[in-house]
Amino acid sequence: MLLEKLKKESLQARKDKDQIKASLLSTVLSQVKTIAIDDGHREPNDQDVIQVVKKFLKSIEENIELGKQGKLSQEAYEQAQKEKEILLEFLPKQLSEEEIREIIKNSGAKNIGEAMKYLKEHYPDQYDGKTASKIAKEVLG
């Protein structure tokens, strides 16, 4: 489903002559296909899309941080923000810090490892690992 959305959005961006979106999505799509090929010439899937989008978002977040520090041109900073908005559409709804806190409290986990395992099993790709770990330390520590 995400893969189809990615293909459709990429095509639409090219039709709309949205160069930033078209370039970004075609690069993401290319990376997704590369992962599938490298993993035994299989068909790409939604998990591949999520993996690539998360990797791209990490890099974009770093650029946004540089922009906030004034170490990036205004144009590059704005482009990074637009790219982040575009890519967030391809991730499952992310849990808020409060939602993560409640999940951990109600999980029955006795330590951080159990809490992280519970999140991974029941809420894959719906949280930021660093944030979840920090919250788990607060709740269980």
pLDDT, tens only, 109-138: 999 999 999 999 999 989 988 999 999 999
For residue 45, is it left (φ>0), alpha (ψ between -120 and 50) or beta? beta
The band of 141, judged by pLDDT with boundaries at 50, 70 and 90, is confident
Q: Closest Cα to residue 100, out of 84, 114, 116, 113?
A: 116
Q: CB neighbours of 14 closer than 8 A, spacing ≥ 6?
A: 22, 26
| pTM flag (> 0.85) | no
88 secondary structure, DSSP code? H
Angle subtended by helix axes 46-68 and 19-38, to nearest 10: 130
Write out the two tokens for 69: 């520090």
Write out the two tokens for 135: 């919250």
Q: Say if residues 56 and 32 touch (Cβ distance below 8 Å).
A: no
d(CA 49, CA 29): 8
The band of 92, judged by pLDDT with boundaries at 50, 70 and 90, is confident
Q: Which residue has the tokens 């997704």?
A: 32
Question: C-alpha distances in angstroms, 122 versus 19, 47, 78, 104, 140?
Answer: 37, 15, 35, 11, 19
